[in-house]
Amino acid sequence: MNWKPILLFVLLLPMVFVYVPQSYAHATDNSFLVYYHKYSSFLRESSMGIFNSEMYKVSNETYIGNSSHVEIKKYTTVYYLTSTGVEQISGTVNITISRNNSISIYSSLPYLSRVIVESSGITELAWSGLTTSSSTINTFAYTNSSSQIILQFLNGTSFTNISINISKYGTFTKQISVNLAKVKISNEIIYSTTEYLNVQLPRRYTPLVQSFYVNGTNISSQSNGYIVTKAYFNGSILPAIEWKGLGIGNNLDIMEMRGSLDFNFTTLEFYGINGSVVGYVHNVYSYFSSPNISLFSRFIVNYESGETIIVYVSSDYVTSHPYNQVYFTYNGVPILVMQFNNSVESSANITIFHKVIVNNEHANLINLRINSTSFYIVIINNQVHNVALVHAIVKETNINISGKAYLAQKIEINQSGYVVFNVTALGNAFTVFKIINNTYIKLNSTNYFEINGKIVVFDDPSNTYLVVYGYTSPSSSSSSSSTPQSVTSSISSTSSTPISNYYYIAIIVIIILAIVLIILRRK
């Protein structure tokens, strides 16, 4: 048997599993689920002399899936109606709203034509159609805590509104008695066309262009800036950014009517642990009602349209309420941070979150990123303090403590206020001291940590620090020493350049290759 390939594989196998440090960031799962619908509802009455016609047209597009670019069907129904005498109709309406934004509506009354949801300044057309008897409608809409649901019943050439106030989630019942015109469908036309759905998540802290299609015409709007807020999503209160805008469609052709329509755009993006994107809501709403009455004719139009996209992203978030939330600005940019026992959520990306101790108080050290800008803060007693990331001058040394020699790094900085600095780790076990008046004071072990081969140190600074490798403190306590800890030591400079982990890896690789070549030559 030829052992050369096997031996070569065995010797090279450790190289495959050599750990290569990666940048520290919250991993984002790209899986998502899209809920989409678009409804329009158009009622027209026209009369000239003895001739009269009433037409009601509805269309809908719906999609539920995990594709952001998809072809969908648009279904349109045109009803030609005849209204007769008015009758009093009594019945029951049951509405169930779930945490996942699904809505189920049962109505024992006929002629239900539109379902409108109003919540926190957002108006949504959640459904349109026409029922002729008792029915159940299943749809979805974004609701932020409390909301109002408006049921519009067709009443001859107009609509009658029934409003129901909803507080969060659950089932709500209302008894209704209303006078409605009897409606007879004289003709019904159904057809379908193909449309395209393109879902794109907004880029946080930047303006947003939003668009809506009406009969092939694209209505777009530049958002009027953004606001940082908090809002409910999937039953939990989360940091969010909201964009609002207004689009105007001029000279639009909607069922033989030409005119201008205003479209209100609202987009919300929600953020979970470490600022990861949890979800996204996009809504467009437009309403138009205009009578045109003259001596010989009458032309009445009532138009309403709406589009809603809800995207659920597979990211982690906390379902309980935060114990504290802080709102602050950095270089004029508003930021919201929600604090929990073991995590934080934020409207900005968080690349580092670490618990620290400041003056015997628990605090949170956070590195935030807004687009290309990264910075540190520390939150102490619900107050936000800036933390400077400083460049440290590092020299490798040997230090003698209590008669024993240790490898160490001597670090010099020049900064006031809270600081963070980092050095390349030379080993796994280490202790950090700061030097004040020639006395070594051991830092609280929670105030320094290692990430991807870097030792990160947070402090209210001194000018000189030591990272000592292999040193074990006489005390097992992790709290800060209130009394300066004196040690007998001598320091001698050995190098001005830290040894990199990559250097060790390179040496191992060279040794393995040399062994392989020697063995192959002997064979």
Rounded CA-CA distance 457/450 in Å is 9
What does the pLDDT look like over 43-69, one tens digit per residue?
A: 988 766 556 788 999 999 999 999 889
Mean pLDDT on 134-140: 96
Higher pLDDT, 510 or 195: 195
Looking at the chain, the whole-number percentage of residues with pLDDT higher than 70 is 77
- Whole-number Å distance between alpha carbons of 292 and 271: 48
pLDDT tens, residue by residue, 204-221: 998 887 777 666 667 677
Distances, alpha carbon 96 to alpha carbons 67, 101, 146, 169, in Å: 28, 10, 13, 7
Which pTM does this prediction carry?
0.80
Query: Which residues lie below 8 Å from residue 220, measured CB to CB, with a gap of 6+?
Result: 209, 210, 211, 212, 247
Helix, strand, coil percent values for the chain (each to nearest 5): 5, 65, 30
Closest CA to 199 of 34, 314, 31, 29: 34
Residue 452 has pLDDT above 50, yes or no: yes
**Which of 132-136, 198-202, 511-515 has the weakest average pLDDT?**
511-515
Residue 488 CB: number of other CB atoms within 10 A? 8
Beta-bridge partner residues of 5: none
Predicted pLDDT of residue 168? 77
Task: Say yes or no to pLDDT of 309 above 90.
Answer: yes
Q: Which pLDDT value is given to residue 167?
A: 80
Assign 334 a pLDDT band (cuts: 50, 70, 90). Answer: very high
Q: Could you tell me if 508 and 18 are in contact, meaning their C-beta atoms sit under 8 angstroms apart?
A: yes
| Rounded-to-10 torsion of CA 458, 461, 465, 467 | -10
For residue 246, give the nearest of 216, 215, 284 by alpha carbon: 284
State residue 299's pLDDT score.
Answer: 66
DSSP 488: -
H/E stretch holding 496 reads none
Measure the CA angle with vertex 312, ends 329 and 114; round to 5°.
105
pLDDT above 60: residue 262? yes
- pLDDT in the model for residue 502: 40
